[in-house]
């Protein structure tokens, strides 16, 4: 088997995996984006199909405002036990951290209402022991383990601080496993930046004492020349042929000095066992190109579609209006997308920032209507905005939109968006009664309108192109011939400059009471 890391490119941090038969299910953190926690399915570990989201309703989660601080939905864990999928997660919503789990019999959804857990901190995980007991692991002042009642979420007994790691900062992200009679506690250490790593310890007793692996860290790329950096926050699992694997996060910097714009991405690492300890990747290193003598699935030609009657809305933005199959409705991560916006549901790769409120975004059979509210793009509020991850360094994103109604500072456009304080956009607006295309950039407190181009028509096609060096904006009035509007440096829209735990999104928006209609959108990797 040969594959290339990341297996999920763009903003997909803190991966957690479970397998049922030949089917792998993976979830990643989403912070302020809604719906929360995309669920990906694969049978080969390389092609990942988004089959839904875990957190789709206000009754499950209320995302706190506060970007660009790191709030909202952190580090989930997905597990399967006796016919039920469990997803446990933290909503970092000051003044409290709400830890809860939801369940589903089909990982595509719907997932249940939350069951609240009596713990603070972050990075929850569940472990179902073979004697029927269930243990919660989490992180506050250290990594702790506590038995819980899985029906009610209540703690049974005390929290036990099990292991503080090997001495690096931020021991966190624990996952507990039982393998050949030992409890293994896998954690992340070193912080989620360049010093990131995974370490492991084991014990015959669930509450310890835990003995550290003699070759910790079992996963890290710190201090190496390898192109993937900041490897850590891993989850171990097996395939149906009993091969061991880990998923973990890592970053791909744009250049030196190391800055990354696509957030933390999901990597896949083969794992072998030696003397009762896991050996991950190439002696704990994670490479981009991996070739391993393994067969993942127990059967060939397994069907990617796991539930034919889910998402009966074969009401797919990618269709030409003809009936489409469930398979088309689903989204293969990292693939090109053409969205004609001719349905009343949005393609699953679109997100909102925060829980959607009111009727700011209205998908119709004739385009998505964006009803701008009083807020500008740089305000930390719910806005008339839909966005999708930047999944490749080199891409083009093309949108046809029309500005239908607008007050003085209203606008509609396409943005490359890290957070409310860091974004570049090309937009349509009215200036002195004249429709105009503008190029705006904001980097922290620096804000500029860099270009104003009068435009005879209120319908225009805007194109955003990304590369490791720059984001370029161009426009077309006939949809074919494009003229450059301007460009901005990629490295100012990076986590190291102005971000936190997320990666860049491509956003379509209307702001300051502008009314707009988005007709088509196309994302292509180059």
Give min distance, CB of 230 to ligand 6LW, in A: 8
How many other C-beta atoms lie within 10 A of the C-beta of residue 193? 16
Give min distance, CB of 293 to ligand 6LW, in A: 30
Site map (CB under 6 A) of ligand 6LW, residues 43-82, x = contact = -------------------------------xx-------
Residues 175-204 that bind ligand 6LW (CB under 6 A): 188, 192
* Minimum CB distance to ligand 6LW smaller for 192 or for 351: 192
251 is a contact residue toward ligand 6LW (CB under 6 A): no
* Minimum CB distance to ligand 6LW smaller for 75 or for 511: 75
Catalytic option among 49, 123, 172, 189? 172
Give min distance, CB of 487 to ligand 6LW, in A: 30
Residues 214-243 that bind ligand 6LW (CB under 6 A): 232-233
Candidate residues 16, 28, 29, 99; the one interacting with ligand 6LW per rule CB under 6 A? 29
Q: Enumerate the β-bridge partners of residue 290.
A: 3
Answer whether 53's CB lies under 8 Å from 348's CB: yes
Give min distance, CB of 325 to ligand 6LW, in A: 35
* Minimum CB distance to ligand 6LW smaller for 4 or for 169: 169
Answer whether 504's CB lies under 8 Å from 493's CB: yes
Q: Which long-range contacts (CB under 8 A, 24 or more apart) does 150-153 make?
A: 150/86, 150/126, 152/115, 153/100, 153/101, 153/115, 153/116, 153/117, 153/118
Q: Is 14 a catalytic residue?
A: yes
* Minimum CB distance to ligand 6LW smaller for 14 or for 22: 14
Q: Is 469 a catalytic residue?
A: no
Q: Enumerate the β-bridge partners of residue 363.
A: 368
* Minimum CB distance to ligand 6LW smaller for 175 or for 463: 175
Candidate residues 124, 138, 165, 173; the one interacting with ligand 6LW per rule CB under 6 A? 173
Candidate residues 6, 10, 13, 171; the one interacting with ligand 6LW per rule CB under 6 A? 13
* Minimum CB distance to ligand 6LW smaller for 186 or for 401: 186
Q: Which long-range contacts (CB under 8 A, 24 or more apart) does 207-212 make?
A: 207/145, 207/160, 207/162, 208/145, 208/160, 208/162, 208/163, 210/162, 210/163, 210/183, 210/185, 212/163, 212/166
Closest CA to 499 of 168, 193, 113: 193
The tokens for 163 are: 């292991």
Give min distance, CB of 63 to ligand 6LW, in A: 15
Please tell me the distance from the alpha carbon of residue 195 to that of residue 307, in angstroms, as a whole number. Answer: 41
Question: Which residue number places its CB atom closest to ligand 6LW?
Answer: 192
Give min distance, CB of 191 to ligand 6LW, in A: 8
Residues 411-430 that bind ligand 6LW (CB under 6 A): none
Give min distance, CB of 179 to ligand 6LW, in A: 22
172 is a contact residue toward ligand 6LW (CB under 6 A): yes
Candidate residues 341, 350, 375, 501; the one interacting with ligand 6LW per rule CB under 6 A? 501
* Minimum CB distance to ligand 6LW smaller for 93 or for 477: 93
Give min distance, CB of 502 to ligand 6LW, in A: 9
Angle at 421 between CA 415 and CA 424, to 5 degrees: 25
The label of the residue with tokens 């149906």 reads: 240
Please tell me the distance from the alpha carbon of residue 463 to that of residue 52, in angstroms, as a whole number. Answer: 28
Q: C-alpha distances in angstroms, 174 versus 7, 187, 377, 410?
A: 22, 4, 37, 47
Q: Which long-range contacts (CB under 8 A, 24 or more apart) does 330-333 make?
A: 330/49, 330/50, 330/51, 330/304, 330/305, 331/49, 331/50, 332/47, 332/48, 332/49, 332/50, 333/8, 333/9, 333/12, 333/40, 333/48, 333/49, 333/50, 333/391
Number of residues that bind ligand 6LW (CB under 6 A): 15
Please tell me the distance from the alpha carbon of residue 303 to that of residue 148, in angstroms, as a whole number. Answer: 36
Candidate residues 23, 49, 123, 265; the one interacting with ligand 6LW per rule CB under 6 A? 123
Q: Enumerate the β-bridge partners of residue 144.
A: 138, 161
* Minimum CB distance to ligand 6LW smaller for 150 or for 187: 187
Give min distance, CB of 75 to ligand 6LW, in A: 4
* Minimum CB distance to ligand 6LW smaller for 123 or for 235: 123
Please tell me the distance from the alpha carbon of residue 526 to that of residue 520, in angstroms, as a whole number. Answer: 19
Closest CA to 390 of 423, 412, 439, 429: 423
Catalytic option among 14, 49, 147, 519? 14
Q: Residues in the site for ligand 6LW, rule: CB under 6 A?
A: 13-14, 29, 74-75, 122-123, 172-173, 188, 192, 232-233, 249, 501
> What amino acid positions are annotated as catalytic residues?
14, 172
């Amino acid at each position: 088997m040969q594959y290339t890391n990341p297996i999920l490119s763009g903003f997909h941090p803190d991966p957690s995996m479970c397998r049922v038969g030949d089917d792998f299910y993976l979830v990643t953190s989403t912070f302020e984006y809604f719906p929360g926690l995309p669920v990906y399915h694969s049978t080969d570990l390389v092609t990942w199909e988004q089959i839904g989201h875990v957190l789709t309703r206000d009754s499950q989660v209320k995302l706190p405002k506060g970007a660009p601080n790191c709030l909202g939905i952190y580090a989930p864990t997905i597990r399967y036990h006796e016919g039920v999928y469990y997803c446990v997660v933290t909503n970092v919503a000051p003044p409290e951290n709400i830890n809860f789990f939801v369940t589903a019999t089909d990982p595509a959804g719907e997932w249940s209402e939350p069951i609240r857990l009596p713990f603070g901190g972050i990075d929850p995980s569940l472990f179902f022991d073979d004697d029927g007991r269930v243990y919660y692991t989490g992180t506050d002042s250290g990594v702790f383990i506590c038995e819980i009642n899985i029906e009610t979420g209540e703690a049974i007994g005390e929290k036990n601080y099990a292991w503080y790691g090997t001495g690096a900062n931020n021991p966190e992200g624990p996952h507990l496993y039982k393998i050949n009679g030992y409890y293994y506690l896998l954690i992340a250490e070193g912080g989620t930046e360049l010093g990131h790593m995974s370490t492991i310890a084991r014990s015959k007793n669930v509450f310890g004492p835990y003995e550290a692996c003699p070759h910790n860290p079992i996963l890290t790329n710190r201090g190496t020349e390898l192109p993937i950096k900041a490897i850590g926050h891993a989850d171990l699992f097996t395939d149906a042929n009993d091969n061991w694997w880990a998923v973990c996060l890592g970053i791909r910097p744009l250049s030196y000095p190391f800055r990354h714009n696509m957030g933390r991405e999901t990597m896949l690492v083969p794992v072998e066992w030696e003397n009762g300890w896991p050996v991950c990747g190439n002696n704990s290193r994670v490479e981009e190109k991996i070739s391993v003598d393994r067969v993942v699935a127990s059967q060939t030609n397994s069907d990617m579609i796991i539930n034919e009657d889910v998402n009966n809305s074969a009401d797919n933005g990618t269709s030409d209006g003809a009936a489409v199959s469930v398979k088309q409705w689903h989204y293969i991560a990292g693939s090109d997308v053409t969205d004609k916006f001719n349905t009343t549901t949005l393609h699953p790769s679109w997100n909102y920032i925060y829980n959607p409120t009111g009727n700011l975004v209205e998908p119709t059979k004739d385009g998505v209507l964006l009803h701008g509210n009083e807020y500008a793009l740089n305000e930390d509020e719910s806005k008339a905005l839909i966005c999708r991850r930047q999944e490749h360094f080199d891409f083009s994103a093309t949108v046809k939109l029309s500005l239908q109604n607008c007050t003085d500072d209203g606008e509609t456009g396409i943005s490359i968006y890290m957070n409310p304080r860091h974004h570049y956009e090309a937009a349509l607006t009215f200036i002195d009664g004249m429709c105009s295309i503008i190029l705006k950039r904001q980097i922290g407190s620096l804000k500029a309108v860099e270009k104003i181009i009068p435009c005879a028509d209120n319908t225009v096609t805007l194109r955003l192109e990304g590369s490791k060096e720059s984001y370029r904006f161009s426009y077309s009035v006939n949809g074919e011939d494009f003229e450059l509007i301007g460009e901005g440096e990629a490295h100012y829209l990076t986590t190291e400059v102005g971000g936190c735990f997320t990666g860049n999104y491509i956003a379509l928006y209307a702001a300051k009471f502008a009314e707009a209609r988005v007709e088509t959108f196309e994302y292509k990797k180059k």
